[in-house]
Structure 1
């Protein structure tokens, strides 16, 4: 027979306890003693019962005059009590204007007497076509407080509201009643005293949607926009994230329906809403709808650059780097305004990623070594998509800013050559391309600088790209893929092919793909094309490199193993 373990009760001696016993009964009091058979000695024991007086007659229940008078005294208005036993019987049990819950307790003579009550009735909302349970009064006699009686009354009311399919439960609280206000907070209640036009976030949301529908039928677009914007802001300030963002998405639908241009006024509304949105799930919905609208309003695939940049910086602040990356790419493909912020974010991403990798093994190389190795990889996440988006000049500005930032943090990344940086020397007979590149100990970073400057040079050529530039590009990419194919993955070939055809009118020869890619491949998200990244981008056609591996996947190694950071350092030494 299995041995039944006895509960440890010693630590509860002389403390207030709550005991559940058979039949759904509950006793509360102070534990004074116990034995091996779980016979308890409970001092000042109280058993609380809830009796629903909707069905019983008043005569069959206890006299509640004591608790009603107690409520009046608690609310500092004893002289205002006009209720009598007869009037209560008539209004509640005969006319059924309201319903009552009575909390009862056995006295020393094993007789039930009331210790608290709740009186409630039903209201109706035409917006929801559902009832509302309105709590008129809830009161517990002072000597029976702090025993959970009030919470049990609240719970029972919640069960009734759920059974009757009520949209919500409402009650009013006197401003000085801190006890009931605090209880409301513990059960997730919302203070609706400051809400104009509604008794709660849900009702306000429904009223504003209904009002907007009526305004749209009359083609009053300006009023509809004002209604949705002001309502969205109000709900977000109430921390009603779902309702507030739903109105924001509806606002963008009205923008589209009314052919609203993406001017400063319309964009400022969206920026204000996004600034108050804190729930990641709902913010993504608003961002998606906003980008879709700006793309349609501008008639291109990238949308508004300033909105994209604002979204990117908002996401980067929350360290949602991959999502921010897509927005930065779209913004920087159109304007150089966000290039510096983009480079700074990629630097921060590299630092955090390198730190997580280095900490995955206590014997791993220092974080600075890992940062130096991964610098080129994170740089590729910026300059390659910008070249694909035909923004060569901004790709150069991004890469130059990024290299400057990472070499300031890790000066040892720069090789001791003179001059450094060195001036770009074009292989074309005639070139107007001006630029500089740093000579570093990171081959991927060096390749990126050469590739971007060649693309800039080719884009500035008139009358076709000279064969010398084409040859220089082919030699550069062929050598890079031969030396780094295992490190960056075969999917880079597809991006380079796109750049080759866009800027040079050719495609490099397909390399032999090493299927056993090392850790740098996982940094870029593993093998395969970037379709997943594109799907995760916003509606515009943004090409991202695959999402990096989750840092939570970095596990400490057993003794004698070689960490991923060790492998990267070996590559650097080579």
Structure 2
């Protein structure tokens, strides 16, 4: 079928939706999509399904629109479509139109990431896509869901994650700052992303000093670096020293650090497995058993913190930038 014919069909179906014949348009769109797929005309199938989904969502038909969103991903998978700026751009547009209460939205999020992992170069899913989804969920105060995507996102994701976790921490007991910072720092280290572990700690340090004028702290300088420590926040200090030790690659210092903070680390036993893995990754300290990284992150995120943060400033889900680490 020619481009002109596809455009004519697309416009006819858009008119059908605008006239209120939503069910008829939805059914015709699915039939046309299957016809194009049999012809292996994937561009036409993508064009017609994306246009139809957009029109139905704008018309308030979230159920039918959500169904076509899932159909679009099916076409992507069948057609071997790669995660490009164009293919991801369609997903971003549809996500901004799908209502938060629409049941198919969560499935669309998950399947979009799964498609990008299967058809792209990143086994855990495309970082730009993770950044967009994490940013979107953070703006909706869905902290538990957002943090997992932001951890696997771009270099811009660390800023969003750090600010999100600090706002989340601010609604809890003041001594739990280390608990919240660790939700980003430990996974980042497990992902070999020291840069963003430092970024999150810098965000926490800056917010702590600006928002708690009476909080005692001091700047400790060496020939190669400087860190701010807070005597009343031992677990937070441990995380800062942990990242510094990782950067310097000092196995003995790592062992001594865990020993020195042992009494405080006893209060966070769920950190132990992550710290063991960090010891093996960076210092070649062998451990007996390894847990899958994503499973470990899931267990770390399973508890702690308020049920959901609320009343937070919304963050706009802007188009993401490059996923490459500096």
TM-score for the superposition, normalised by structure 1: 0.48
CA contact (8 A) 1:232 1:244 kept: yes
Unmatched 5+ stretches in structure 1: 1-192, 355-369, 426-433, 459-468, 511-528, 536-540, 554-574
Deviation at 1:194, TM superposition (A): 6.7
Q: What's the counterpart of residue 411 of structure 1?
A: 213
Q: What's the counterpart of residue 435 of structure 1?
A: 225
Sort the Cα spacing of 1:300 and 1:424 in 2 relative to 1 into closer, same or farther, 3 A.
farther
1:227 and 2:48 equivalent? yes
Give the CA RMSD over aligned residues: 2.8
1:445 and 2:236 equivalent? yes
Residues in 1 aligned to 2:47 and 2:160: alpha-carbon distance in whole angstroms: 33
1:397 and 2:199 equivalent? yes
1:423 and 2:204 equivalent? no
Deviation at 1:424, TM superposition (A): 4.7
Cα-to-partner distance string for 1:459-483 (whole Å, 9 max, x where unaligned): xxxxxxxxxx111100111232333
| Aligned with 2:161 (options 342, 345, 349) | 342
Residues in 2 aligned to 1:477 and 1:207: alpha-carbon distance in whole angstroms: 63
Q: What's the counterpart of residue 319 of structure 2?
A: none
Q: Which has the higher contact order (CA 8 A, sep 6+)?
A: 2
Residues in 1 aligned to 2:31 and 2:156: alpha-carbon distance in whole angstroms: 41
- Bigger strand share: 1
Q: What's the counterpart of residue 481 of structure 1?
A: 262
Deviation at 1:337, TM superposition (A): 2.0
Q: What's the counterpart of residue 282 of structure 2?
A: 503
Unmatched 5+ stretches in structure 2: 1-13, 309-326
Residues in 2 aligned to 1:403 and 1:507: alpha-carbon distance in whole angstroms: 32
Residues in 1 aligned to 2:237 and 2:246: alpha-carbon distance in whole angstroms: 14
User: May I ask how many residue pairs the two structures share in their alignment?
Assistant: 293
**Structure (1 or 2) with the larger CA radius of gyration:** 1
CA contact (8 A) 1:326 1:544 kept: no
Residues in 1 aligned to 2:210 and 2:287: alpha-carbon distance in whole angstroms: 34
| Aligned with 1:264 (options 85, 91, 109) | 85
1:388 and 2:207 equivalent? no
Q: What's the counterpart of residue 455 of structure 1?
A: 246
Residues in 2 aligned to 1:308 and 1:475: alpha-carbon distance in whole angstroms: 36
Q: What's the counterpart of residue 276 of structure 1?
A: 97
Cα-to-partner distance string for 1:497-554 (whole Å, 9 max, x where unaligned): 11110001115899xxxxxxxxxxxxxxxxxx998x946xxxxx9656233357469x
Sort the Cα spacing of 1:297 and 1:552 in 2 relative to 1 into closer, same or farther, 3 A.
closer
After TM superposition, the runs of 4+ consecutive aligned structure 1 residues lying more than 6 A away are none
